[in-house]
Amino acid sequence: MSSDSAGNLVEVRGLCKVFPTGGGNKVHAVEHVDLDIAPQETLAVVGESGCGKSTLAHLVMRLLEPTAGSIMLDGVDIGSLKRRELRQHRRKAQIIFQDPFASLDPRRPVGQAVAEPLLVHGVARGADADDIVAELFTLVGLTPSMMRQYPHQFSGGQRQRICIARALTLEPKLVVADEAVSALDVSIQAQVINLMMELQRDLGLSYLFISHDLAVVERVSHRVAVMYLGQIVEIGPRSAIFENPQHSYTKRLLDAVPIADPRQRRERPLISGEIPSPVWAPGTSPERVELVEVDTGHFAARED
């Protein structure tokens, strides 16, 4: 949606992902999503459980095949890539998951886990690989001597640093962070977020930052997309989304965030509503929302 579309690292157009469920019903997890990510930019995608934000992340990584639409990464349509080309292409985009314990092999020293992408892609091996891994450990605030230790010997925050190091081994341009700091204690979360920002500045990374936590998103993002039932209902510069939200769902999300200041305690009206189901019966499908530009680069869905 940027006017300077030629310079974008990621361009997603008309992306849809439909999962069949029982009885001919379908979950419309991602519906007609368009978005861009510029080099060195963090685009945050926020929304509640089931809104499709993680499915979107997996589609961008091509861990899932889209039902429709296209994803351009660094000028290449990743949907058109054959297996061998895709492998080469994967070097440009890496993902970090929520649970750093589940994403590390408990029986292998963490240095091996970080070195694996180098071996798989034939970038380096042996002592050369060790040198690169040692450098990465230092980069993420660990010490090279930790390479020989096992995942259980690390705290959650350290494990997530290891996962970040692994994501950076192949010098990607895009890092997809799928709730990457959600499982961490706040003090550790703050340190890991600060590290991610430092790495963005030093390495020129772009982030697709998937999160349910609006206060975290406000701190890390350049732009924000709000997802609701598979569709983007509002997208724009961070300050526009947080200071001048247009869509009722964005307002509702912002209003629900607990404020860490007892003086600002609000008597909330007890909204009783819940998000409708994304499951659609055979022959039915969700109505497509129409985004309108309300300000430069700030789009919001038209509401009745």
Q: For other proteins, how many residues bind (rule: CB under 8 A)?
A: 50
Identify whether the C-beta of residue 182 lies closer than 8 Å to the C-beta of residue 98: yes
For position 101 contacting other proteins by CB under 8 A, the verdict is no
Please classify residue 301 by burial: count the beta carbons closer than 10 Å to its beta carbon, then call 0-12 exposed, 13-18 middle and 19+ buried: buried
Dist CA 227 CA 232 (whole Å) = 4
Task: Give me 255's structure tokens.
Answer: 């209003």
Judged by CB under 8 A, the residue of 3, 80, 143, 272 near other proteins is: 272
For position 295 contacting other proteins by CB under 8 A, the verdict is no
The residue type found at 167 is A
Instruction: Find the shortest distance in angstroms from Cβ 128 to other proteins.
Output: 32
- Kindly tell me which of 135 and 185 has the beta carbon lying closer to other proteins: 185
Specify the stretch interacting with other proteins by CB under 8 A; choose among 12-20, 98-106, 131-139, 182-190: 182-190
Instruction: Find the shortest distance in angstroms from Cβ 227 to other proteins.
Output: 13
Judged by CB under 8 A, the residue of 90, 222, 247, 298 near other proteins is: 222
Dist CA 272 CA 269 (whole Å) = 9
Instruction: Find the shortest distance in angstroms from Cβ 301 to other proteins.
Output: 18
Dist CA 159 CA 94 (whole Å) = 17
Identify whether the C-beta of residue 276 lies closer than 8 Å to the C-beta of residue 260: no
Characterize the bridge pairing of strands 26-37 and 279-280.
Answer: antiparallel
Q: Under the rule (CB under 8 A), what is the footprint of other proteins?
A: 42, 48-49, 156-157, 185-191, 193-194, 197-198, 212-216, 218-222, 238-239, 242-243, 252-265, 268, 270-272, 274-275
